[in-house]
Structure 1
Amino acid sequence: MVTKLDEFKGEWARISRLEQAIAVLNWDMETFMPEEGVTPRSEQLALLSELAHEWLTSEKMARLIEDSEKEVEDDDYFSHDAAMVRAARRIYNKKARLPHELVSRFARTIAKSNSVWIRARADSDFPSFAPILSEIVDLNREQADLLGHEGERYDALLDLYEPGLKTAETERIFTELKKDLIPLVRETISRHSGPDDAFLNQKFPVDRQEAFGMEVLRDLGFDFRRGRQDRSAHPFTTSFTPYDVRITTRFFENDLLSALFSTIHEAGHALYDQGLPLDMMDTPLCQPISLGVHESQSRLWENLVGRSRGFWNHYLPLLKRNFPGQLDHVDGETFYRAVNRVRPGLIRVESDELTYNLHIFIRFEIEKELVAGRLSVNDIPEIWNESYRDYLGMIPPDDARGCLQDIHWAHGAIGYFPTYTIGNILSAQLYRKALDDRPAIQSEIETGRFALLLGWLRENVHVHGARYTFAEIVKTITGNDLIVKPYFEYLADKYRGI
């Protein structure tokens, strides 16, 4: 007998497949689409996004969710069916508050803004990006008001990326971290100027960088039968299904580590997406819990693994073989110290672990004021530069190295940035628990093997998909709520020892 839950799954699968097609078009737009394809592509995305929204918010879907809720009301709370229907309800309740016209307008604007941002950044010309960014901010304000919020308008946007997170709670977490982090940054910088790392800025052929990155990707566990890596203006990961996960990176000939750490970061995202439950594909459960959890995976692999001494004990000899003669004079300890040099910089994605969160604090403060209407788009360069002076002691010499460096606003993703710091905090909490459960993880990393760590993450995080909320998964795995202490202790122990 076909149940209402079966009907719901069938209808949801149709929507899921349409959204996968939208994701393919978006990926193509950022990788291989010719420049003149922007206008027709924006119309394609607007139409398909509106259609997906119509299907998801239809009366039929509303009835199917309601009927399915009745069918699973006696099921165990964390059963797959009960969790699936809860996830569908959360998604439906948000989407149903947004009119089809707004969804279409948002998709059309974002499709156009990507190419505008690329040109503006290349020319270091914020005024050319400001008009479409103003549209994006207005769209986000409109969206936030329709979604509803009790406090800050920004709450509604945070909730899109980290469900349940509020502006006040974000400020509390950030204030707690700042209290100890900023003195640690100053202490570390004043203690020493840092090791010599000029050897990282020789000319390293891009094709060899790419080949080495591919080797690391395979070792980490990225399945190339279900994924690929390409190049783009800004590194990103997109997943159509767990069977097709795409990552991109960018290369600089005179910077050996930029592309490599971007690759490892995106690999963390991709490993999560490839590890989502295959038996739940095309349901609300075959997706990540939140962006904070997603960023915990990318930051864990990038920093706690990729910047560890054990990792480079294994990979430095391989790196030397890939670039013969260029690194022969560099010993393991010198390379490890160079990889972890603390040096305030202007570019978020190239910043060290200690100063990285300062970049996030700046973006959070600007976004919050923008959405509230207390800051205008035209004021962004000035407030950005002032904030960098105050937090990092530097003023960007141009917009490209200032407020145009990130793609997130061009994608309409206002409210995303705080999830990076949430992810950093969670990454340390998860890694500590993983080492408690499987002490051999670190010795495996020293031999270029990662199966123990990846297996632990698969079992404890990835395989659940969206079965749990952020708070539930953190409590289930660690026995605690999200806490700053393990993350700060990790940073303090590491950098006071370098």
Structure 2
Amino acid sequence: MNSEQRREKLENLKARFATMSDLGAAASLLHWDQETYMPKKAVGLRSEQLATLSRLSHETLVAKETGDLISSLEDAFDADSEEGAMVRVAKRGFDKSTKLPSKLVEERARATSLAQPAWVEARERADWSIFAPHLEKLMAIQKETAEHLGYRDHPYDALLDLFETNGRKAKLEPMFESLKAGIVPLLKKVTEAASREETARETAILGEFDEARQEAFIRRVLTDYGYDWSRGRQDKVVHAFCINIGGPEDVRLTTNYSPARIDKALFTSMHESGHGMYEQGVSPAYSRTPLGGGVSMGVHESQSRLWENIVGRSRGFWGRYLPVLAELFPGAFEGMDVETFYRAVNEARPGFIRIDSDELTYNLHVLLRFEIEVALMEGELSVDDIPAAWNAKMEEYLGIVPENDSLGALQDVHWSSGLFGYFPTYSMGNVLSVQFYEKALEENPSIPDDISDGNFSALHGWMEKNIYRHGSRFDPDDLVERVTGRPLDTAPYLKYLEDKYTELYAL
């Protein structure tokens, strides 16, 4: 096959993936609408629409024409080239999808579309029984999916691999053991050291905060971070998310406001903007191709956690932005000094809600969910028994028990969206956030001073150059080693926590 024939076949393959990308973008737009503005009675209709789009996209991917093009191009390009990466990623998607019957893909889309509003109602009423039948259906679909995909050691591996290429339960367990060994004793020290003074610091973020003014402050921060509003927007939802509508030109954020807390919508927005800037930073040349979008959810979460925590909870950040906040809310922060506010947004205290938890306890929330998902896949835990198991693990790891299921097993949107195997990527992201930040700092020592000046161009630029623009060109493990010189390593992250909380609580 000569170069002209190779190029023609590659263009044909890209055209097929462009079609799938467009179908996926339409589905994403329908999903975004369902979460934001869709009338309640449209749920049934929307579930059928999403099911149809999922089926059409799946049928396009698994078609013989797609397989023939991929087979003919497998050895046509250098493995390290963009073209070689495109074929490799396309083959991985094709191989996975050909294992899944179109009927199962359609059934999953329909089931998740029906499960999501049931989860919202169950959460509002704190009634697990409303959601349980939907989760039973979804679990059956997940188990069938794992069997179709196949796995080497454990059925959970098949689901995890959908979000983290080459992710394995056996690779996660040492990471969680290391995190637990480092975090649990540190949390015990912090809890023992906490006084009424530290607990009272939370009053710095409580009050009455007009939503429009919150939105103005958030927009200022995200603009300074580098989120491009000409290619995005932000809307209100029950559970915040970021969604890519087909490429870097349309990447949308959502958030959830609390009139009584200044931190809730702000840190949620910082988190989602990390996802958003990653997607906006992918090379436009990769749009509507197999390389479009972030490489994995672990790497994706490294960005959301970096911009939310390492940057957004730093002293330097609040030295710059507390005066801006005080100007927007006259009287609310009168007499408030930066140190008090910094300590308020970094207070470590076991709580019920994962998305509101502090950096120290966050990974214990993720560990709980990881263990429950594995037990569900192994058949050791039934759907009906999830609330009791959840509460027992909350007591074991955090020393508290939710008073109802809205504060417990119903708090996350992931299961209603069919995202099994996603939760561990949050902890992977925490670990990687420090690895990436340390490397950025090594190459740009001025970054802390830049943050204090409200200048994020060096940090954002480094992330864009080393991570964002590559999209899915490199496998996640390869990307991490290329950028940091080593694989995922919990040591820098645990040292970051140790140093931060030792200083905060004078341990």
Shorter-chain TM range is over 0.9
1:345-494 maps to which residues of 2 (within 5 A)? 345-494=351-500
Name 1:111's counterpart in structure 2.
Answer: 113
8 Å contact from structure 2 (residues 179, 363) kept in 1:
no
Residue of 201, 207, 210 corresponding to 2:206: 201
SS at match of 2:384: helix
Residue of 240, 243, 246 corresponding to 1:238: 243
Name 2:193's counterpart in structure 1.
Answer: 191
Residue of 292, 301, 306 corresponding to 1:300: 306
> How far apart in 2 are the matches of 1:389 and 1:203?
32
Aligned-pair CA distance for 1:71: 2.1
Task: Tell whether 2:189 aligns with 1:167.
Answer: no
Task: Tell whether 2:323 aligns with 1:321.
Answer: no
SS at match of 2:419: coil
> How far apart in 1 are the matches of 2:137 and 2:450?
50
Name 1:212's counterpart in structure 2.
Answer: 217
> How far apart in 1 are the matches of 2:275 and 2:239?
15
What amino acid sits opposite 2:361 in the alignment?
T
> How far apart in 2 are the matches of 1:23 and 1:422?
25
SS at match of 1:71: coil
Residue of 332, 337, 340 corresponding to 2:338: 332
What amino acid sits opposite 2:290 in the alignment?
P
What amino acid sits opposite 2:288 in the alignment?
D
What amino acid sits opposite 1:39 in the alignment?
G
What amino acid sits opposite 2:45 in the alignment?
P
8 Å contact from structure 1 (residues 83, 467) kept in 2:
yes
Aligned-pair CA distance for 1:362: 0.3
Aligned-pair CA distance for 1:191: 1.4
Aligned-pair CA distance for 1:206: 1.5
> How far apart in 2 are the matches of 1:339 and 1:51?
46
CA-to-partner distance for each residue in 1:376-426, whole Å, 9 max, x for gaps? Answer: 000000000000011111100001101000000000001100000000000
8 Å contact from structure 2 (residues 70, 87) kept in 1:
yes
8 Å contact from structure 2 (residues 204, 340) kept in 1:
no
Residue of 126, 136, 139 corresponding to 1:137: 139
What amino acid sits opposite 1:221 in the alignment?
G
> How far apart in 2 are the matches of 1:481 and 1:52?
34
Residue of 84, 88, 91 corresponding to 2:86: 84
Superposition CA RMSD, Å:
0.9
> How far apart in 2 are the matches of 1:326 and 1:55?
56
1:10-49 maps to which residues of 2 (within 5 A)? 10-49=15-54
What amino acid sits opposite 2:181 in the alignment?
K
Aligned-pair CA distance for 1:132: 0.4
> How far apart in 2 are the matches of 1:393 and 1:177?
17
Aligned-pair CA distance for 1:318: 0.4
Task: Tell whether 2:187 aligns with 1:181.
Answer: no
Q: Which range moved further: 190-199 or 87-96?
A: 190-199
What amino acid sits opposite 1:177 in the alignment?
L
Aligned-pair CA distance for 1:5: 1.1
> How far apart in 2 are the matches of 1:9 and 1:380?
44
Structure 2 residue runs without a partner (length 5+): none
Q: TM-score, normalised by structure 1?
A: 0.98
8 Å contact from structure 2 (residues 151, 157) kept in 1:
yes
1:230-269 maps to which residues of 2 (within 5 A)? 230-240=235-245, 241-269=247-275
SS at match of 1:238: strand
> How far apart in 2 are the matches of 1:54 and 1:87?
18
Name 1:310's counterpart in structure 2.
Answer: 316
What amino acid sits opposite 1:329 in the alignment?
G
What amino acid sits opposite 2:377 in the alignment?
V
Aligned-pair CA distance for 1:18: 1.2
What amino acid sits opposite 1:11 in the alignment?
R
> How far apart in 2 are the matches of 1:421 and 1:254?
28
8 Å contact from structure 2 (residues 204, 344) kept in 1:
no
Q: Which range moved further: 17-26 or 406-415?
A: 17-26
Aligned-pair CA distance for 1:89: 0.7
Q: TM-score, normalised by structure 2?
A: 0.97
What amino acid sits opposite 2:315 in the alignment?
R
Q: Which range moved further: 471-480 or 3-12?
A: 3-12
> How far apart in 1 are the matches of 2:401 and 2:28?
37
SS at match of 2:105: helix
> How far apart in 1 are the matches of 2:104 and 2:71?
25
8 Å contact from structure 1 (residues 8, 68) kept in 2:
no
CA-to-partner distance for each residue in 1:286-318, whole Å, 9 max, x for gaps? Answer: 121100000000000000000001000000000
> How far apart in 1 are the matches of 2:211 and 2:232?
21
8 Å contact from structure 1 (residues 5, 67) kept in 2:
no
Structure 1 residue runs without a partner (length 5+): none
What amino acid sits opposite 2:65 in the alignment?
K
